[in-house]
């Protein structure tokens, strides 16, 4: 699976290679309730086909009509802005909830070479900031882990590529589904499993393999505040060792597979034998994942990603799921 940015890029470049004209549209900023956050992308082809989303309905319908009739193309090659939902009537007309407002940056002639460069860089795991100046041009720049989407009314900066990292311990079925799903949420995935029978069968495109023992590999990986660490071997000899370092690292999420009973025993081991403090142990999400009744490997992967997303976004957490021992 690819991130939404990558899908829009791939589609837009394919259209341009086939001789179609297309408009690239970015949500520059929002006020009130809005279906899509700043930085969201959509591309609309001159015959009305669309990839991505900037609202969720009627705004796209209006934009498609204006692309097909040529009025947006007639604005020329320089980026320009459009606003929707300024009045209550307009918000209702375009399906924006309760006074929501969108300001969009449009590029009626996006630079093919820059788009191709951007796609290559994010495919290689780079994080890239794209700067678009209204009535000006477009440039690409290296982005750090804390680079944010911003718009000052004239210059829009968006961030593309895997801004988050996920370190998975274990290469079993759950890990395979998790490694396939996570890139859609802009995670760069690294997997470590010293067990030869699992390592030899790992074949998830786009993931990185870390050789050696998980605790050593994690230290070399250098977890930071944009990192998630999930231990899925269900083997204390492997999971506990990596959790010792993970719970002392600044990672925003640390989770481990296992039932409530096994998690209680794990916390006791980590406290008694390895000296982890109550505050450090409180950071452990175990049983891992939100309680959605998951039993199969893909369902458990969904539950894990849902909990990671809730923690990342600062959402109120409900009780954790209990998974079979």
Supply 168's token pair. 């998975």
Task: Give the residue among 106, 103, 135, 81 at the shortest CA–CA distance from 25.
Answer: 106
What tens digit of pLDDT does each residue of 66-125 get? Answer: 999 999 988 889 999 999 876 666 655 655 655 568 899 999 999 999 999 999 988 777
Backbone angles phi, psi at 138, to 5 degrees: -130, 135
Is residue 24 within 8 Å of residue 82, measured between CB atoms? Answer: no
What per-residue confidence (pLDDT) applies to 93? 62
DSSP 214-240: HHHHHHHH---TTEEEEE-S--HHHHH
- Give Cβ neighbours of residue 293 (< 8 Å, ≥ 6 apart): 299, 321
The whole model's pTM is what? 0.72
- 173-195 burial, b at 16+ Cβ within 10 Å, e below that, comes to ebbbbbbbbbbebbbbbbbbbbe
Q: Where are the domains of the chain?
A: 4-125, 164-312
What per-residue confidence (pLDDT) applies to 33? 63
Count Cα atoms within 13 angstroms, Cβ side, for 4. Answer: 15
The two most distant CA atoms of the chain are separated, in Å, by 71
Query: What CA–CA distance (Å, rounded) separates 10 from 46?
Result: 17
The third-level CATH classification (topology) of the domain covering 164-312 is Rossmann fold (3.40.50)
What tens digit of pLDDT does each residue of 195-212 get? Answer: 988 888 898 988 999 999
| Preceding omega of 287 cis (within 30 degrees of 0) | yes
pLDDT tens for the 325 residues of the chain, in order: 456 778 899 999 999 999 999 999 999 998 766 667 899 999 999 999 999 988 866 788 899 999 999 999 888 899 999 998 766 666 556 556 555 688 999 999 999 999 999 999 887 778 899 999 999 999 999 987 678 899 999 999 999 887 789 999 999 999 999 999 998 888 989 999 999 888 888 989 889 999 999 999 999 999 998 899 999 998 888 999 999 999 999 999 999 998 999 999 999 999 988 899 999 999 999 999 999 999 899 999 999 999 999 999 888 555 444 344 3
Angle between helices 260-274 and 236-246 (to 10 degrees): 60
């Amino acid at each position: 699976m690819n991130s939404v940015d990558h899908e829009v890029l791939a589609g837009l470049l394919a259209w341009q290679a086939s001789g179609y004209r297309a408009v690239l549209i970015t949500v520059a900023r929002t006020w009130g309730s809005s279906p899509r956050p700043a930085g969201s992308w959509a591309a609309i082809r001159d015959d009305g086909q669309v990839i991505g989303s900037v609202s969720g309905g009627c705004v796209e319908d209006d934009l498609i009509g204006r692309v097909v009739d040529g009025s947006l193309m007639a604005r020329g090659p320089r980026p320009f802005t459009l606003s929707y939902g300024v009045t209550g009537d307009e918000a209702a007309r375009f399906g924006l909830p309760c006074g929501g407002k969108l300001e969009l940056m449009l590029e009626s002639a996006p630079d093919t070479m820059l788009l191709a460069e951007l796609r290559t860089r994010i495919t290689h795991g780079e994080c890239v900031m794209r700067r678009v100046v209204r009535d000006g041009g477009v440039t690409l720049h290296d982005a750090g882990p804390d680079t944010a989407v911003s718009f000052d009314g004239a210059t829009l900066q968006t961030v593309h590529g895997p801004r988050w990292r996920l370190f998975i311990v274990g290469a079993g079925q759950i890990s395979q589904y998790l490694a396939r799903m996570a890139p859609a949420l802009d995670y760069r995935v690294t997997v470590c499993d010293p067990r030869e029978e699992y390592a030899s069968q790992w074949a998830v495109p786009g993931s990185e393999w870390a050789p050696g023992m998980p605790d050593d590999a994690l230290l070399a990986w250098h977890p930071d505040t944009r990192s998630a660490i999930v231990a899925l071997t269900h083997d204390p000899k492997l999971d506990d060792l990596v959790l010792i370092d993970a719970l002392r690292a600044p990672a925003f999420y640390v989770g481990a597979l296992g039932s409530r009973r096994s998690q209680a025993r794990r916390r006791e081991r980590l406290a008694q034998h390895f000296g982890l403090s109550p505050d450090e142990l409180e950071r452990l999400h175990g049983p891992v994942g939100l309680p959605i009744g998951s039993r199969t490997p893909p369902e458990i992967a969904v539950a894990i990603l849902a909990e990671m997303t809730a923690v990342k976004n600062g959402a109120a957490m409900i009780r954790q799921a209990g998974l079979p021992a």
